[in-house]
């Protein structure tokens, strides 16, 4: 079942049905709300900007060396605390093959970052090298080949040619480490690397963790592996990688003090400019509640001071160059305070999201300088290896060769189990969902009326005191002057359910005025052109990742909009004379149940949703992306939707595990009429 986003995408609303339409002979919208479909992005961004401004106030107050050291220590705690759930278990390294070339050899390696969770890697050892020699960990970006793609091999082999030992390994969901491997096709059942990351990452978020935790831990265990090699000078370890590899480089180096020199490429910007430009990226780039905890990109570098760091950028990258420049400027202050301003550097070159020769040469020189291995910085062509030549497993996948564990298996081991739910406390619901009922209705703007089959539908949009979006609303009547009840009808398709439902007349005949709305992410507040890198089965997980970063949830954001609807229906002064009922369908049930857990103005409510009764479905390996999208990050250890239903007496809230039909409508009307 995949109702939420699919129905919103295929819904092509007629102009006259839009609450923002102005009837001037052609399709026009209210100027102030032409970008109404970006409501969800604006809500998340504004919340992020609030937290980032609070962080800026802290940064602006740092002056002395002691100020910065204290700040660095506080960031260390935030970045490292999620890793405390992991233990350094035996690596159990395996040497599965050796490939010799004239100037170096390659050892094909497998080690376990968690028991049974295999990391496939290659250790490149120059024949002519210092004893012991400096080593560089190479983290690759989003390619299904992992570090074996020609572009990444080019950098690895150039570093090896200059005398560096290089350990390159496959990130989760890439190379030989697909998390959702289809043995028949050899491909992922979910999609490419960012989809593999986002599908595993969304489910991980619901346990109160981030996929980045697993990525960082892999890197830490890679350092542990280097410590077992006598050829490596463990005082001279560096790390670099581009794109997704730049993400890993920044985060791993921030969390492992044994890494002396770090050069993240094509990642560093800052969250303000990222949100203003390309938006939040796939799962492994987003710490659990990161922005709300005060973390921004500069902190991955502040926490390393005064160790050497090089920010590698291209001017036309989708990771904003302005953000990178601002980060460099900020981090320069902390390094300067410690008397090591030359240890933070930045290089930029013309280019898009790519590696350039100038940037590669700057990176070679950076490591040669700070890891004490002088030499030339020439960027030379070296014949890459065929992909299969660098496989560490027989089949090219740990799942089929070793029956290796996946992130799903680890989640169940670390967080799952038969007794996962903890006592349901209101503070858990509020804190985890991020609900803030602080939007006050400032105006209900009437924009016209639609007449269909004897039904009059008034169109409104609701403005609120935060001014971040306007909520589209329909109010339907059939001219019954004796209507003495209000029914709030929410559906993932949005307010148009009133126009399309074959049951609307039957409900109106029962003396109801029916109100419906497009919650953020639905109907007119859904952006059909959104093209994030974490879209799974048309569900845009990038919004979920963004909401998580700012300490909110999609369900919580939508619950706040329900509060605006309640304010609208009650009116000013409040009109509590009429009975107030609710009909909630499918994906809208999560936001509704979270809302009424905090504030329940409804006399009776009916919820149609199979997710509610099947509370274990979301913890299965292949779950429904829609269900994860409307679930609250961090909620799985504490409560599920069924627990929220159980907060209310059975005579006020009815759960029906089906869709609307003649029988269920009769059941609905009978229940509400009691």
How does DSSP assign 455-474, residue by residue? EEEEEEEEEETT-S--EEEE
Closest CA to 211 of 199, 223, 219: 199
Give Cβ neighbours of residue 470 (< 8 Å, ≥ 6 apart): 20, 33, 36, 39, 445, 461, 462, 463, 464
The closest of 639, 251, 201 to 411, measured between CA atoms, is: 201
Count CB atoms within 10 A of the CB of residue 154: 17
Torsion, CA 201, CA 202, CA 205, CA 210, rounded to 10:
20
Collapse the DSSP code of 489 into the 3-class scheme (helix H, G, I; strand E, B; otherwise coil) and give the result.
strand
Given a contact cutoff of 8 angstroms between Cβ atoms, the answer to whether 21 and 27 are in contact is yes
Name residues of the chain where pLDDT drops below 50: 1-12, 419
How far apart are alpha carbons 410 and 387 in whole angstroms?
A: 28
Q: What is the bridge-based pairing of β-strands 579-585 and 653-656?
A: unpaired
Residue 663: strand, helix, or coil: helix
**Are 58 and 67 a contacting pair, CB within 8 Å?**
no
Is the distance from CB of 469 to CB of 461 less than 8 angstroms? no
How far is Cα 599 from Cα 591, in angstroms, rounded to an integer? Answer: 12
- Helix (H), strand (E) at residue 125: strand 117-126
Strand partners, 126: 104
Rounded Cα gap, residues 188 and 182, in angstroms: 6
Nearest CA among 505, 539, 501 for reference residue 522: 539
What span, in angstroms and rounded, lies between the C-alpha atoms of 665 and 60?
60
The pLDDT tens digits for 644-672 are: 998 999 999 999 887 777 777 888 888 88
Whole-number pLDDT of residue 162: 98
> Could you tell me which residues come within 8 angstroms of residue 620 by beta carbon, excluding any fewer than 6 positions away?
none
Residue pair 564/570 in contact by the 8 Å Cβ criterion = no
Please state whether the peptide bond connecting residue 575 to the residue before it is cis, i.e. omega within 30 degrees of 0: no
- Assign 188 to helix, strand or coil: strand
Which residue, chain included where needed, has tokens 């069924």? 642
Domains of the chain in start order, with CATH, are 4-34+431-673 (3.40.50.1820), 65-413 (3.40.50.1820)
Spatial CA neighbour of 520 closest among 479, 561, 467, 564: 561
Looking up tokens 């107030």 gives 580
What HEC string does 87-122 produce?
A: CCCCCCCEEEEEEECCCEEEEEEEEEEECCEEEEEE
Give the contacts of 441 (CB within 8 A, at least 6 positions apart).
Answer: 462, 463, 464, 564, 567, 568, 572
Report the pLDDT value the prediction gives residue 426, as an integer from 0 to 100: 67
d(CA 258, CA 333): 23
Strand 27-29 relative to strand 21-23, pairing: antiparallel
The closest alpha carbon to 409, from 145, 177, 90, 642, belongs to 177
β-strands 117-126, 94-100 pairing: unpaired
Number of Cβ within 10 Å of residue 185's Cβ equals 8
Read off the DSSP letter of residue 36.
G
In the prediction, which pLDDT does 480 show? Answer: 72
- 497-501 own/partner pairs: CB under 8 Å, 24+ apart: 497/585, 498/455, 498/457, 498/474, 499/17, 499/450, 499/452, 499/457, 499/474, 501/660
Residue 203, CB-side half-sphere exposure with 13 Å CA sphere: 26
pLDDT of the residue at 3: 37
Residue-level pLDDT at 257: 98
Q: What's the confidence (pLDDT) of residue 366?
A: 98
Beta carbons of 449 and 458 less than 8 angstroms apart: yes
Residues 252 and 259 sit within 8 Å (Cβ to Cβ): yes
d(CA 156, CA 167): 9
């Amino acid at each position: 079942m995949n109702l939420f986003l699919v129905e919103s995408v295929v819904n092509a609303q007629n102009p006259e049905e839009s609450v923002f339409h102005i009837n001037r002979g052609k399709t026009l919208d209210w100027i102030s709300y032409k970008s109404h479909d970006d409501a969800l992005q604006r809500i998340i961004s504004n919340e992020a900007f609030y937290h980032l401004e609070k962080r800026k106030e802290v940064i602006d107050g740092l002056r002395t060396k002691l100020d910065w050291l204290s700040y660095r220590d506080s960031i260390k705690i935030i970045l490292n605390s999620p890793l405390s759930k992991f233990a350094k278990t035996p690596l159990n390294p395996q040497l599965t093959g050796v490939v010799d070339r004239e100037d170096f050899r390659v050892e094909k390696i497998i080690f376990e970052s968690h028991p049974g969770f295999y990391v496939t890697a290659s250790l490149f050892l120059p024949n002519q090298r210092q004893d012991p020699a400096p080593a560089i960990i190479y983290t690759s970006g989003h390619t299904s080949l992992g570090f074996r793609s020609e572009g990444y091999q080019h950098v690895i082999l150039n570093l090896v040619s200059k005398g560096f030992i290089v350990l390159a390994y496959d990130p989760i969901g890439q190379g030989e480490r697909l998390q959702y491997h289809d043995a028949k096709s050899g491909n992922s059942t979910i999609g490419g690397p960012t989809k593999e990351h986002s599908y595993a990452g969304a489910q991980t978020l619901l346990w109160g963790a981030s996929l980045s935790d697993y990525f960082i831990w892999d890197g830490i265990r890679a350092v542990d592996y280097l410590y077992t090699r006598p050829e490596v000078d463990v005082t001279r370890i560096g790390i670099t990688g581009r794109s997704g590899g730049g993400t890993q480089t920044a985060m791993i180096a921030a969390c492992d003090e044994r890494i002396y020199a770090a050069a993240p490429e094509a990642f560093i910007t800052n969250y303000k400019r990222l949100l203003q430009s390309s938006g939040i990226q796939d799962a492994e780039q987003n710490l659990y509640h990161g922005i709300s905890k005060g973390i921004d990109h500069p902190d991955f570098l502040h926490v390393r001071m005064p160790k050497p760091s090089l920010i590698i950028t291209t001017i036309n990258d989708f990771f904003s160059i302005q953000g990178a420049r601002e980060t460099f400027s900020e981090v320069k202050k902390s390094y300067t305070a410690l008397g090591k301003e030359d240890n933070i550097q930045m290089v930029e070159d013309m280019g898009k999201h790519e590696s350039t020769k100038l940037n590669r040469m700057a990176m070679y020189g950076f490591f040669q300088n700070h890891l004490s291995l002088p030499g030339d910085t020439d960027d030379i062509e070296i014949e890459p290896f065929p992909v299969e030549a660098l496989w560490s497993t027989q089949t090219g996948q740990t799942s089929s060769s070793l029956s290796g564990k996946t992130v799903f298996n680890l989640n169940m081991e670390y967080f799952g189990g038969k007794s996962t739910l903890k006592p349901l406390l209101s503070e858990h619901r509020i804190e985890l969902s991020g609900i803030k009922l602080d939007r006050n209705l400032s105006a209900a703007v009437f924009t016209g009326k639609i007449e269909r089959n004897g039904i009059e539908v008034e169109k409104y949009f609701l403005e609120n005191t935060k001014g971040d979006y306007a909520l589209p609303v329909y109010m339907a009547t059939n001219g019954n002057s004796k209507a003495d009840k209000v029914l709030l009808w929410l559906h993932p398709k949005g307010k148009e359910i009133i126009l399309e439902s074959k049951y609307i007349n039957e409900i109106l005949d029962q003396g109801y005025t029916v109100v419906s709305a497009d919650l953020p992410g639905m109907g007119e507040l859904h952006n059909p052109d959104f093209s994030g890198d974490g879209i799974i089965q048309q569900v845009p997980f990038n919004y979920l990742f963004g909401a998580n970063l700012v300490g909110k949830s999609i369900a919580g954001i939508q619950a706040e909009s329900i509060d605006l609807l309640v304010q609208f229906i009650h009116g000013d002064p409040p009109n509590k004379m009429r009975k107030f009922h609710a009909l909630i369908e499918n994906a809208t049930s999560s936001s509704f149940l979270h809302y009424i857990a905090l504030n329940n103005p409804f006399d009776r409510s009916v919820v149609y949703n199979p997710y509610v009764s099947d509370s274990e479905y979301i913890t299965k390996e292949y779950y429904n992306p829609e269900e994860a999208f409307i679930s609250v990050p961090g909620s799985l250890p504490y409560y599920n939707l069924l627990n929220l239903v159980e907060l209310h007496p059975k005579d006020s809230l009815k759960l029906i595990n089906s869709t609307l039909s003649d029988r269920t409508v009769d059941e609905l009307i009978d229940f509400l009429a009691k």
